[in-house]
Structure 1
């Protein structure tokens, strides 16, 4: 019998090199039984080529002309900066008055992950700090810090703040200057190999409104990638639920849980799927919350400005509200949602040389949480999202990752040591688009290897098996993950 696998791989390579996205999608029906061959089309027909990749927020190749028009209009809204109100640019004014970025792409670098500075001489701009105090608040997921709320905003619309000059008494100031002091230590493998690890120590300087509550809980969160989110949204909840084992009934040490979160659109508790702690239910709420919290743009789901009752000067600032009382109306908000929904997923770069790495990945048990694939719902809102076998490598469940990664800050039902399994697709492409690799919720890991070595809790056994591997096998496992 003729082995068709090498020929098939050559077809994939030719498609990626010569015809790009369209040619890749023509091969969807040609996959044989090889797992690696199947995974090249990580997003099914919504997979885009990674040849000459310069950004992640690329459209699914099979969009119709109408869908493409909405996609690029939404991408423009996500990319263009908002400005302080009032201005003649009424469609894009209303920034702040307190904010972390002027646009969505200000944190999600070219649609990918954020990155963190190398030391405390540089301020943090593509990550933020979540705040809370002990207690329960069902609709917010945690009790806000009394003065600064649920998030530190590191920029403000005050004139002096915009000019980078010392503010006057009546000039609105950023809530804080956020820096990171990295703490380093060495990790030694059983074979004697040594790798340097780092963890962040927060340095919040120049707090604008006095001291924080003495019981404040902090969580540094970096911006995740924006690609493939429409495909993730199209996964059937029942398929995610089927992977949950909160009581570890099978006694394998893995007990993933579904977070239950408040939906601002449905006004009820629903399963969480997006965010580092699965604290957002769907794309609509995720986008609307980011506009409100990160850019200070009021919208139909989150109509309030990012000022607490204690921040009187913030409350006095002009806004860019329209006649309905929002700075971004429902139709423009939906354009950004549709942009995310129709963003494709990058093709995997897998070849035969990655077979050993995939075997090592499975032998370590990584696939127990990083579930390789799902088939999306047939009822998804677009044909390129429906019925697709996709390879995100996540179960989208909460897992206890142990004390080393714990922020001790609950978020709805997620405990202070639980995190949603991060998807692995596209993980090796970050440097391709011009950003340093920073992994895990707080960006501490500068490589896949470092990220694995921080795993604990439910993942402690997998980490120990990885550590016990030979150096060559560890490199093969890492190369496999980087090719996803």
Structure 2
């Protein structure tokens, strides 16, 4: 349904010595306070279920509703008129939430792009709609559905090819990067000229409620749109149309922060990913074969269902940081600060008063500023989304990232899964992070290892 390692330099690599560490203010980073990454919602689990436990501070009633939402989140939909979970769209990408967010975590880059997986393609035309958002493609909408029920045909099939490039470290080590090029074939209608396509992979869903409760003023205060401080970082907030409240609001979720709230994120996934109408999106996706459905028809999932699924996404516990006393982790934390990673992957955030008491007034460590940053041509999808340009992406939270392989059995990162590990993700960073990437490439093998060990401790 709902990665960035901004490594912008503060000091030259030549300054990375014990003597300099004593003077640069990074020697005594205390990681102990960061163990409780989700504040009181933190869970201490290093199993394949590390992303799937309810926050331990929920009330009894909230816990009961959480588990109801869990069942709904894992439900597989079928075509009507089935007695259980009917409503699967005539065209769709997947049949359940959990298939795009396995174990409530991160989808892998699939070997078969047309299988049931967490990959999808967004689409739009040049310009903006009446609310400043992307323009739907006639006959296709804003997302390309590559699966269909009997009697219908997929809007298109996906096809992947790959290009490679090599990055070389100062010590001579080389890394070969891959870039997937996802294209459309067998479209049921000819695509109009100028269609912009962008690949997406499903992301972890724990901690979403906490991110929703970070005060807007805290997020917008970090903007530096014109880079007035001259540090090369010019984060900005995305402001988007909320179809639930019918007003423009701060974007918080999605790869380009194009969604304002968890419930709208869930509602959008129901209708776009599964073709299931709901009280927020009452017409089916596509608007081609389906003609959008029947205006005024009863939604296929009701508001109670939508609210419970959203509550589930909001109240999953956040996994604790690990190995915080390990010397390599501590040294990696200092490098994380020295290379200015923390200017975008801001470690600490706080929440305000929340409708779910367990999320109120929490101190958390998500490692994100919730802002958009220009990541350069290498990562650009060239598809704007509200105020996000074709090369801007929201800073991905890093909490839990080191448990990805344990939980999901892979380490595919970035919006299309091109990075096969954290180091490759770093090496794809350009734009505002170009200098940092180059500084990272100049680190010694030991320094690179320590930095990666710190990130994997989160």
Q: Partners in 1 of 2:345 and 2:212 — Cα distance?
A: 17
Matched, 1:174 2:154: yes
1:112 corresponds to: 105
1:443 corresponds to: 417
2:224 corresponds to: 245
Q: Partners in 2 of 1:405 and 1:276 — Cα distance?
A: 12
* Deviation of the 1:55 alpha carbon: 4.9
Q: String of CA shifts for 1:364-423, please: whole Å, max 9, x gaps.
A: 11111100011111x112332111110000001000111110011000011000000000
Compute the TM-score of the two structures, normalised by the length of structure 2.
Answer: 0.90
Match of 1:184, SS?
Answer: strand
More helix, by proportion: 1
Q: Is the deviation greater in 55-64 or in 107-116? A: 55-64
Residues 29-44 of structure 1 aligned to structure 2 (within 5 Å): 35-44=30-39
Q: Partners in 1 of 2:152 and 2:456 — Cα distance?
A: 44
User: Structure 1 residues 187, 434: closer, same or farther in 2, change over 3 A?
Assistant: same
* Deviation of the 1:34 alpha carbon: 6.1
Choose from 43, 49, 52 the match for 1:48.
43
1:215 corresponds to: 194
1:87 corresponds to: 82
Choose from 188, 193, 201 the match for 2:168.
188
Q: Partners in 1 of 2:115 and 2:82 — Cα distance?
A: 28
Choose from 347, 371, 377 the match for 1:372.
347
- The answer to whether the 8 Å contact 2:147/2:154 transfers is yes
- The answer to whether the 8 Å contact 1:111/1:227 transfers is yes
Q: Partners in 1 of 2:308 and 2:372 — Cα distance?
A: 30
Q: String of CA shifts for 1:103-142, please: whole Å, max 9, x gaps.
A: 110100110011112477x647211000111111143711
2:209 corresponds to: 230
Compute the TM-score of the two structures, normalised by the length of structure 1.
Answer: 0.85
Choose from 277, 288, 306 the match for 1:298.
277
2:237 corresponds to: 258
Q: Partners in 1 of 2:50 and 2:147 — Cα distance?
A: 26
* Deviation of the 1:340 alpha carbon: 1.0
Q: Is the deviation greater in 39-48 or in 195-204? A: 195-204
Match of 2:403, SS?
Answer: helix
Alignment coverage as a number of residue pairs: 429
Choose from 433, 436, 445 the match for 1:462.
436
Matched, 1:149 2:129: no
Long gaps (5+) in structure 2: 1-27
- The answer to whether the 8 Å contact 1:40/1:350 transfers is no
Match of 2:143, SS?
Answer: coil
Residues 402-417 of structure 1 aligned to structure 2 (within 5 Å): 402-417=376-391
Long gaps (5+) in structure 1: 1-32, 159-170
1:197 corresponds to: 177
User: Structure 1 residues 123, 51: closer, same or farther in 2, change over 3 A?
Assistant: closer
Q: Partners in 2 of 1:363 and 1:316 — Cα distance?
A: 52
Matched, 1:331 2:317: no
2:265 corresponds to: 286
Q: Partners in 2 of 1:218 and 1:440 — Cα distance?
A: 16
Choose from 289, 296, 314 the match for 1:341.
314
Matched, 1:134 2:100: no
Matched, 1:429 2:408: no
- The answer to whether the 8 Å contact 1:285/1:301 transfers is yes
- The answer to whether the 8 Å contact 2:36/2:321 transfers is yes
2:186 corresponds to: 206
Matched, 1:356 2:351: no
User: Structure 1 residues 266, 337: closer, same or farther in 2, change over 3 A?
Assistant: same
1:101 corresponds to: 94
Q: Partners in 2 of 1:35 and 1:297 — Cα distance?
A: 47
Q: Partners in 2 of 1:200 and 1:350 — Cα distance?
A: 34
Q: Partners in 2 of 1:334 and 1:70 — Cα distance?
A: 10
Q: String of CA shifts for 1:31-58, please: whole Å, max 9, x gaps.
A: xx96311111100110011233335132
* Deviation of the 1:260 alpha carbon: 0.9
* Deviation of the 1:147 alpha carbon: 2.3
Q: Partners in 2 of 1:440 and 1:80 — Cα distance?
A: 27
Matched, 1:277 2:287: no
Q: Partners in 2 of 1:252 and 1:285 — Cα distance?
A: 35
1:4 corresponds to: none
* Deviation of the 1:449 alpha carbon: 0.2
Match of 2:144, SS?
Answer: coil
Q: Partners in 1 of 2:281 and 2:308 — Cα distance?
A: 17
* Deviation of the 1:174 alpha carbon: 1.4
Q: Partners in 1 of 2:49 and 2:38 — Cα distance?
A: 18
